[in-house]
Structure 1
Amino acid sequence: MNNNGNQSEEPLSQYIEDNFLEVLEYLHSFQKTSSWYNEVDVTRIESEVNSIWYNAVIFKQEITDKRVSEIYEIYKNKKNKTAWFIFDHKQPEKLNNQLFSYGFKPIAKMAGMAIDLNLLSKDWTPPKDMSIRKAVTEADFEEWYNLALNSYPMSRPTAELFLEAAKQNVNSSSPKMAAYLIQYSGHSVGIAEAYFGEHHVGLYSIATLQQVRKKGIGTAATMFLLMEAYHRGYRIAVLQATEKGIHLYERIGFQKHCNLSILMSTAYKNK
């Protein structure tokens, strides 16, 4: 992990976008069915797998209406779901309007958030009866997969995408990606995943089963991952939060720096 003093020269919104793109590229590096196109203005993913995480367009800079139309034509006749990911610090409002005219609709809006790990309270301890551990065995990964489908909820192709990347790191002392099982009173009740990037750590898929929510377990799992990142030498952690999760992360110390909108054609139905 390269933790140099020049990080502060970039806005935190750029860190959030960089980590998002980095983790997507890493996830797809293990997928033989995926094609990754890193173009000047957009990053594109194409695959035969019918999931928005396998067929996607991520905007990296403002582009012309003509260019949007060109990209739209590439995906228009494909049978699989395709999502367009738009960070609001890069794209004008007219881009959304253009996609709406093509029959797209918003399916999610996430808050891009970041935290300076140097500001964390280092004397934090987890709540009683709560723990979190890395998934390392096949039984662990099967349990993580089932919890992902029931706690997040996550589609099967998406769960498989994250799980395969975690499995590739199981024997590493400093994994790039790790899957975690959240345990409460001796039972696995949730999941989390962390991507340890070149400069920043990204937290993903933090979720618990409905029956154990509002007990501080999600907050404790987040703190555990942040402390692990801090001890590995990271200074900045980032994540994308749903509207319900924003206040939880703000209480920990995260601050919102941008929005990530996900749009998909109304011809598709996404889980």
Structure 2
Amino acid sequence: MNKYNETSDRQLWPLLEGENWVEFLAYLGTSPLAESSFADDLTWVITGVDDNTYNGVVRTRLSTSVADRAIIEVLERFRVRKVPHLWYIARADQPADLAQRLEAHRCKRLDAGVGMAADLLALHEQIRPVPGLRVERVKDEAGLASSFDAHPDFDEHAVSEHLQLYISLGLEGDRALRFYVAKIGEQVVGGFGLFAGSRAVGIYDVHVVSHMQRQGIGTAMTLAALHEARQLDYRLAVLGPTPISIKMYERLGFVLHHSTQVCYYLPLEE
């Protein structure tokens, strides 16, 4: 059916979920608003957004002779910018003792969390419909702003910084990162993002306006996202759940797993 059949191997799902997060951050680094460096030996991104998944190091291929100096220089960038961040460590990263070197520079390992993945050919698609609900792709700044305004966890500052970043990357056409808004009539009730990675589609930031939660809107939006991922010819969808959303995603066919992604961060000074 598609060229992503290898993603049907469930043992790979935790790895592919972490891979999608790294690819997502690297894509954000292509924004003209981001400060970033895409080099063979070290790739890092600072978007300035106050969220640790929006700033960090996504590739490390350093020789032992220069590793400590490079680590100090990058950590200093994060410290000066006062941005929460993650230093992702993959199996291919070098030097082999990268984790120990980061710890020597006062970095802390992020506690392992959980992720979820779903085979797009084995979804549970029989859900209770939400009367009048429609899900549309966001095509302009006004549409994206309306989705963020409905976000229960975004204040005015968060709306502004996310909006500027995403607009700078473009909203229309064949984009790796796409946004969708859910409406009942003309009322915006929620939204989500979809990131098309190399081997999986990531569903990001599914949110429902506070007074419309627990009415099936989040489930319906997620199923719409899964259908869109299937249209893009993917086999696997991944996401990071909240504790209260796990059961909802399981009803759609998502499987819970422990994250295998290794991440470090430098605690920010108060």
Q: Same fold (TM over 0.5)?
A: yes
1:106-185 matches, within 5 Å, as: 110-122=113-125, 126-148=129-151, 150-152=152-154, 155=158, 156-165=160-169, 168-170=170-172, 172=173, 174-184=174-184
Instruction: Could you tell me which runs of 5 or more consecutive residues in structure 1 were left unpaired when the two chains were aligned.
Output: none
What value does the CA root-mean-square deviation take over the aligned residues? 3.9
Name the SS for the 1:57 alignment partner.
strand
Give the percent of matched residue pairs that are identical in Structure 1 and Structure 2. 21
Pair 214,87 (structure 1): closer, same or farther in 2 beyond 3 Å: farther
Name the SS for the 2:25 alignment partner.
helix
**Shift, 1:219, TM fit:** 1.2
Pair 46,177 (structure 1): closer, same or farther in 2 beyond 3 Å: closer
Q: Following the alignment from structure 1 to structure 2, what is the Cα–Cα distance between the partners of residues 183 and 246?
A: 23
Pair 82,131 (structure 1): closer, same or farther in 2 beyond 3 Å: same
In the alignment, what sits opposite 1:84? 86
* 2:14 aligned with 1:13: yes
CA contact (8 A) 2:116 2:241 kept: yes
Pair 122,245 (structure 1): closer, same or farther in 2 beyond 3 Å: closer
**Shift, 1:223, TM fit:** 0.7
Instruction: Could you tell me which runs of 5 or more consecutive residues in structure 2 were left unpaired when the two chains were aligned.
Output: none
In the alignment, what sits opposite 1:243? 243
In the alignment, what sits opposite 2:30? 29
CA contact (8 A) 1:111 1:242 kept: no
Q: Following the alignment from structure 1 to structure 2, what is the Cα–Cα distance between the partners of residues 43 and 241?
A: 27
**Shift, 1:30, TM fit:** 2.3
Name the SS for the 2:206 alignment partner.
strand
1:220-239 matches, within 5 Å, as: 220-239=220-239
Pair 19,75 (structure 1): closer, same or farther in 2 beyond 3 Å: same
Structure-1-length-normalised TM-score = 0.74
* Matched letter for residue 162 of structure 1: Y
For residues 28-81 of structure 1, what are the alpha-carbon distances to aligned partners after superposition, in whole Å with 9 as ceiling and x for unaligned? 2122542134556x742246x3644553134779x99x9578525532364211
1:30-109 matches, within 5 Å, as: 30-37=31-38, 43-46=43-46, 49=48, 51=50, 52=52, 55-58=55-58, 71-72=71-72, 74-76=74-76, 78-80=79-81, 81-85=83-87, 95=99, 99=103, 102=106
**Shift, 1:87, TM fit:** 7.4
Pair 33,24 (structure 1): closer, same or farther in 2 beyond 3 Å: closer
CA contact (8 A) 1:152 1:205 kept: no
Pair 59,26 (structure 1): closer, same or farther in 2 beyond 3 Å: closer
Name the SS for the 1:126 alignment partner.
coil
CA contact (8 A) 1:117 1:236 kept: yes
Structure-2-length-normalised TM-score = 0.74
Q: Following the alignment from structure 1 to structure 2, what is the Cα–Cα distance between the partners of residues 46 and 254?
A: 31
- What is the total number of aligned residue pairs between the two structures? 258
Q: Following the alignment from structure 1 to structure 2, what is the Cα–Cα distance between the partners of residues 254 and 46?
A: 31
* Matched letter for residue 160 of structure 1: Q
**Shift, 1:129, TM fit:** 2.8
For residues 117-169 of structure 1, what are the alpha-carbon distances to aligned partners after superposition, in whole Å with 9 as ceiling and x for unaligned? 10014565732132211112332133134334x4456834344323433xx24
**Shift, 1:268, TM fit:** 4.6
Q: Following the alignment from structure 1 to structure 2, what is the Cα–Cα distance between the partners of residues 18 and 261?
A: 11
Deviates more, 1:125-134 or 1:260-269: 260-269
